[in-house]
Structure 1
Amino acid sequence: MEHYSILTGDKTMNIQVLRERYAQWPVEKIFVIIFLAGFILRVILPNLKLLHHDEAIHAWFSYELLTKGIYQYDPMYHGPLLYYLTAALFRLFGDSDLIVRLLPAMFGSAIILLIYGIYKTGWLSGNHAIWAGLFFAFSPDMVYFSRFLRHDIFQLFFTVLLLFAILAYIEFKNPGWALVAGSSAALGMCLKEDMPVAILVFVMFFIFLVYFHHITLPGTWKRDFAYAVLIAAGIGFILYSSLFHHPLMFFEAPFKAIEHWTSMHDQCRLCGPPYWYLLMFLLYEIPLLILAVIGAWQWGWKDKGFSHIRRQEPDSRDDGSIKRSLFMILLLAWTGSTMVFYGWVGEKVPWLLIHQLFPVILLASYKIEGRKVIAGAVAIIFLLVMVMHVCFTPADINEPIVQVQNSEDMREVMAIIDTGDKVAVASDSYWPLPWYYRGGGWDKILFYGKKVDPATWAGDEPDVIITHDIDSYQSLPGYEKREYHLSYWFSWYDNHERVLQWYLLRDGKMGTVNLDVFTKIRHL
């Protein structure tokens, strides 16, 4: 069993005691600790924040699938796998916010174990894998989006599993890994429409390795590939056909996805400049971005990584250096491809950062040894501070990472709803209410979806009336009116003249969607 220290390589630092204590720890033991730390960050206090607008929709769709058997692919809400996974957990453990948050936390944490798996293939060194695991475990974006029911953390899991399976097939020549690769690609495709980007990068890398004779394939590779394609097609058909209820959807889904998302791209609904994600890196992951640039320079120029590959001569100090240099080429291509693609796509949303961030994390983890350990430690401290802020502040936060988040004000609104026997919702903005009042809870809701004449509910006498503040009533006789935030977001327009102050203090005015809540006046 290989033993590796994350502190190796420096005799000048005054850390001899730590070196002697931890130098002989096996990589496996270190990864267990990293995994537990990452898992705790992802599962602790799951109800600290209300479900996000999109989360509530995803949870509600899953609940409808479980209780009514209703589901059909709609590209606006991405692929079917998320809903089937969530519905399955609802069936086993009940439908609750806890289960909604536990599922992404499990998949997000499991990616740490996949990094260890890549190390076991020999394409990552022990030091490289350990630091990658640490950075992934404590990355604010990775933690934040592992605590929310979105498709992306699941997609990233299957992306990394696909990479691991490809490398394992190359190393061990076992046909089973080809089947894992085919399954991973299919399950990723059943989550989101941008999965082909990662698949294309990995396929091109695989072709590069074969064409330049960097790897040899087993004699059964054609059969293995055919089986992988068949299992991928089978998984895709089962899920996109809604378990055979809509068989034609398997063939229609690609065209629906292309039509919808090219339309969204052309509309520029959530537009931003091509460097938008770079700004997100600077806000939350700046140490990793800096270390990634240093790592790429260190490998390519200082360690002459390109030269070793051209000559196909390993570093005399490391028999696996050719493989690891080839892996660095993959990381550079992966990082560049995702940054270009997502920078070009019209929809700029923070959760898409994680697909660009993962290869950056692996680049940032290159040869952190000697004095560079100090930089790694400082990076982890910075990341943890950001995690505490964006994930564990029990209030609305003025941060771009949240995109549009349901306000904590809605807890008070729902407490008011709970006190009433009949509640009128006369607003087109009302999520996450359908999720929180699913099943019998919705029976007391008089839902109109827009402002209506008060005479509409004459005789029903609702105890609570909810409207959008921009399409509301000046007053209603017998009711007390109060305004609450439904959702909020970071407003560039309100903070662009105080960017430095906002960056340091993380305060300032937020954009909001507001509800007017009319509560019946009780006379004693």
Structure 2
Amino acid sequence: MNFSRGFLQWAAAGLVALAILLRAVGLDQRPVIHDESMFAYYAWSAMRNGHYTHLPILHGPTLILITGRVFSWFGDSIATGRAWIAAISLVVLAAGMGLWPRRYRWWFAPVLFTSPILLYYSRFLRNEMLFSAVLMVGLLGAARGISRRQSAALWAMPGAACLIGLIAIKENALFVWATLASFGLVYAVRRLVWRGPARALRPRRRRRPRPAAPAGPPARLQRGTYMNPSYETVVKGRPGTVSDALSSGTETPRGDPAGVADAARESWLPTALAWIWGAALGCGFVYFIYHVTTGPDSRHALANLASSWTYWREQHQLHRISGPIHYYLPILLLYELPALLLLAAGLVWDAGLRRRRGLVYLGAVGLWLLVWLAWIPLARVGFIARVGEFLHVEPNGSMLVLGVIIAVLLAWSILQLEQHRPLASFIGWWAACSLFQYSSAGEKVPWLAVHIALPLIMMLGWVWAPRLRTMGRRGRALVLAWLVLTFAVALRNDYFLIFQGRDSDPRERIVYNHTSPRFDALCRQLLSNWEVYSDEIPLARRRVVLIGAPFWPGVWYFRDCNWVSPAQAPEALGEGDDLIIGDQSRLEDLLRRVDMAEWNALRLSLRNAWVPAWPPGRPETDTWAESLRAIPAWLGYLGRALPVWWKYYWDREPWTPTGEYPIIAIEPMTMRR
């Protein structure tokens, strides 16, 4: 498919403009949720106090320090905090484009630019986008730093620094390091043990008719651009000829071993030094970040880092925010379904390119099935039981499905190694490892889906690029049509998610621990009214009482006020109280003692309940025997549930009404002036 250069340039510019627009519009409209308020408040405190003492619950200190600096430059609003996250998310897109094959990177750019999961958390004040940006720059630098490019040394230094500096952003860096180490081990084994080319596994090349050999000498000889030196020039040694250079020793012949060794030494030495300097720079950055955030309980930076790591590990062991091991699969299917279908089609095509390639996929899935069947009777046995408890896994149906997906991804990754495509192989390995790591982690929250969706989208480009090279015009048109469909569906999801108020609606699976629009509107209206009379009563003299769950995000909204958070509701309200807001259960007794002629009580919800995972009527089974007997009931249930699921997928029409978390806000009938 041939497009003019001008059309391609305008299309690329339009995609970039669209990516920026989707991330920049309406950043102040969405209510500030629980987690955002924590990061924003501590960044604001760091700006005011000039120091931040690291809190392990907020992960690495880098986000807090940068956000505090941004607040000092551009003002302390949630829009400012989200804006710099939106800007850093563009680095994720740019680095992702750099990791794709150059020829077809713009084919898959719309999928990356409009991914609903990546877009939603690009407008979200949290660690995920900063972590992803540093990770992608690190991977891009590492990929080019180990290449034979002349600029390898320039890329190696930021690559090493970013991959090490990840730990100062979030402790999930351990997952990345484990992925890199395991892939490096597999790659080393492949190079040392499996040396022979497995030609039977390689895709058959499409045979193309060769042009007839031209009669007469080659065109380069006809043009006179290349002529072998004459006998007199080489042997007789005329002045200024090649023989003079050979005899004088000023030029090393091309095949001389010494010359090859010197050239190789000159090429790898700067790159090796760049890797060392980059690693030192990354370690220095980590030490600096944890050193400047030490508190009275931290003796030095390493103790600060250790406390962060210990807290993160304990939270995953506690299973604090639990969920099934397939927790992220519905989220991925809900928001990235067309892209995942295209990825699945590419893997099926890859398996069918040659019979033995298909056997590799079948062998990987079959091996997993054998492991899973052997796991069932041994799940309660000593060491295996402890490993299963540590990884939060057990041999159930969810683990079976997840393992099949991971086995297919790993099979594709290994096949790419055989084809000498190490970068493609790593992308597949990264996707498989991320899916397992975050699915088995003890804490299940929607924003971690970013770390699964990103490698899967990156893998999409590497799966289809080789196929597009060998396709005809009709095949490319079909793939392009599916990419356009994926782009259109993603844009539709993005529109409703951003511009139609669903970004704080529990009908969206991606929304978690949100704040209701009514609570947000109340806080903004009160602050606006108080600001009008700030000359008479400054905000610092406005007394706000926060009790229970509204503490977050209430602290961020009323950060400039005189807020308090007692453990219990006060016995009575005083003249100096401007707002009392808290859980309904804690304020009911106070509300009975309040003179309603002087005080106004508002009943609202802090947040709404989530939609249950399954529509009603699902068969309940406890054992495999019961599950087998219930197969007809399951088939009937799935048939009835498909229309319900489709309505939810397309229109987010919930199958059950959503509940509420009731709170009460009490304010004076007449505002203090």
When normalised by structure 2's length, the TM-score is 0.65
- 1:417-432 aligned at under 5 Å gives the runs 419=529, 422-429=542-549, 430-432=551-553
Task: Report matched runs for 1:268-283 at 5 Å.
Answer: 268-283=319-334
Alignment of 1:388 with 2:388, yes or no, is no
Aligned match of 1:470? 585
Name structure 2 gaps, 5 residues minimum. 193-263, 359-415, 469-475, 531-536, 618-640
Partner of 1:35: 16
User: d(CA) in 2 for partners of 1:401 and 1:44?
Assistant: 19
Change (3 A) 1:427 1:491: farther
Q: For 1:195-245, what per-residue CA distance to the aligned partner results, in whole angstroms no more than 9, with x for missing partners? A: 22223323544565566569x982455433332221111000011112677
Of stretches 54-63 and 391-400 in structure 1, the one that deviates more from structure 2 is 391-400
Q: How does 1:51-200 map to 2 (within 5 A)?
A: 51-119=32-100, 124-127=101-104, 129-171=105-147, 172=149, 174-200=152-178
Q: Partner of 1:379 in structure 2?
A: 486
Partner residue in 1 for 2:571: 454
Decide whether the 8 Å contact of 2:95 with 2:137 is kept in 1: yes
SS of the residue 1:109 aligns to = helix
Task: Decide whether aligned partners of structure 1 residues 305 and 433 sit closer, same or farther in structure 2, where only a CA change above 3 A counts.
Answer: farther
- Once residues 467 and 495 of structure 1 are traced to their aligned partners in structure 2, the CA distance between those partners, rounded to angstroms, is 33
The one-letter code of the counterpart of 2:177 is: I
Is 2:667 the counterpart of 1:513? no
1:15 maps to: none
Give the letter aligned to residue 378 of structure 1.
L
Change (3 A) 1:267 1:112: same
* Structure 1 residues 293-351: Cα deviation after superposition (integer angstroms, max 9, x where no partner): 222333454289979xxxxxxxxxxxx99988333321221111001111100111111
In the alignment, the residues of structure 2 paired with residue 193 and residue 53 of structure 1 have an alpha-carbon distance, to the nearest angstrom, of: 21
Moved more, 353-362 or 297-306: 297-306
Identify the residue that residue 336 of structure 1 maps to in structure 2.
432
Deviation (angstroms), 1:432: 2.1
- Maintained 8 Å contact 1:66/1:87: yes
Q: Distance in 1 between matches of 2:146 and 2:273?
A: 15
Change (3 A) 1:305 1:76: farther
Aligned pair 1:228/2:347, yes or no? no
> What are the Cα deviations for residues 403-435 of structure 1, in whole angstroms up to 9, with x where unaligned?
111111123321246546744424122222222
Larger displacement relative to structure 2 (54-63 or 264-273) = 264-273
- Aligned match of 2:509 in 392, 400, 408? 400
Can you list the C-alpha shifts for 1:113-145, whole angstroms capped at 9, x where unaligned? Answer: 2133334xxxx1421x22332111111001000
For 1:324 and 1:23, the matched residues in 2 are separated by 33
Please give the alpha-carbon distance, in whole angstroms, between the structure 2 residues aligned to 1:400 and 1:390.
11
Equivalent in the alignment of 2:256: none
Is the contact between residue 434 and residue 442 of structure 1 (CA under 8 Å) also seen in structure 2? no
Q: Distance in 1 between matches of 2:269 and 2:9?
A: 33
> For residues 347 and 162 of structure 1, do their structure 2 counterparts lie closer, same or farther at Cα, with a shift above 3 Å needed?
same
How many residue pairs end up in the alignment?
482
CA contact (8 A) 2:139 2:163 kept: no
Deviates more, 1:181-190 or 1:411-420: 411-420
SS in 1 for 2:561: helix
Q: Which residue of 1 aligns with 2:557?
A: 436
TM-score normalised by length of structure 1: 0.83
The amino acid across from 2:606 in the alignment is L
Q: CA deviation at 1:453?
A: 3.3
| Structure of higher CA gyration radius | 2
Which is worse superposed, 82-91 or 510-519?
A: 510-519
Task: Tell me how far apart the structure 2 counterparts of residues 131 and 423 of structure 1 sit (CA, whole Å).
Answer: 56
Contact 1:400/1:489 (<8 A) preserved: no
1:298 to 349, 355, 358: 349
Q: Partners of 2:11 and 2:306 in 1: how far apart?
A: 46
Alpha-carbon distance in structure 2 between the residues aligned to 1:243 and 1:210: 39
Superposed displacement of residue 492, structure 1: 1.6
CA separation in 1, counterparts of 2:89 and 2:124? Answer: 10
Q: Distance in 1 between matches of 2:155 and 2:339?
A: 31
Change in Cα spacing, 1:502 to 1:31, as seen in structure 2 (3 Å) is: closer
Residue type at the aligned position of 1:515: I
The answer to whether the 8 A contact 1:80-1:190 is kept is yes
Q: Deviations over 1:272-301 (max 9, x none)?
A: 111111111111111121122222333454
2:46 and 2:97 mapped to 1: Cα distance?
35
CA distance in 1, matches of 2:6, 2:600: 65
Q: Percent identity?
A: 18
Deviations 1:18-77 (A, max 9, x none): x5xx34359776544322211110111111202221111111111111110231222210
SS at match of 1:405: coil
Residues 1:192 and 1:227: Cα distance change in structure 2 (over 3 Å) = same
1:470 Cα offset (Å): 2.1
- The question of whether the paired residues in 1 share the 8 Å contact of 2:54 and 2:294 is answered with no
Letter in 1 for 2:310: E
Q: In 1, are the aligned partners of 2:56 and 2:311 still within 8 Å (CA)?
A: yes
Deviations 1:234-263 (A, max 9, x none): 000011112677884431244323432232
State how far apart, in whole Å, the 2-side matches of 1:416 and 1:383 are. Answer: 37
Deviations 1:76-130 (A, max 9, x none): 10101111211221222222222111111111122222133334xxxx1421x22
**Residue 145 and residue 470 in structure 1: after superposition, are their counterparts in 2 closer, same or farther (change >3 A)?**
same
CA contact (8 A) 1:35 1:112 kept: no
Among 244, 268, 288, the residue aligned to 1:218 = 268
Give the secondary-structure state (helix, strand or coil) at the position aligned to 1:452.
coil
Q: Which letter maps to 1:34?
A: L
Please tell me whether residue 485 in structure 1 is matched to residue 605 in structure 2: yes
- CA distance in 2: counterparts of 1:219 and 1:305, whole angstroms: 41
CA contact (8 A) 2:327 2:439 kept: yes
**Relative to 1, partners in 2 of residues 1:25 and 1:37: Cα closer, same or farther, differing over 3 Å?**
same
Query: Which sits farther off after the overlay, 395-404 or 490-499?
Result: 490-499
Partner-residue secondary structure (3-state), 1:492: coil
Mapped contact 1:31–1:116 kept (Cα < 8 A): no
Aligned CA RMSD, in angstroms, stands at 3.2
Aligned to 1:256: 307
Q: Residues 109 and 380 of structure 1: is their aligned pair in 2 closer, same or farther, counting only changes over 3 Å?
A: same
Q: Name the amino acid aligned to 1:335.
A: A
Distance 2:293 2:315 in 1: 28
SS at 1:236 equivalent = helix
User: Residues 231 and 494 of structure 1: is their aligned pair in 2 closer, same or farther, counting only changes over 3 Å?
Assistant: same
Residues 108 and 153 of structure 1 are in contact (CA less than 8 Å); yes or no, is this contact kept in structure 2?
A: yes
| Alpha carbons of structure 1 residues 324 and 280: separation in structure 2 relative to 1, 3 Å | farther
Q: Which moved more, 1:283-292 or 1:241-250?
A: 241-250
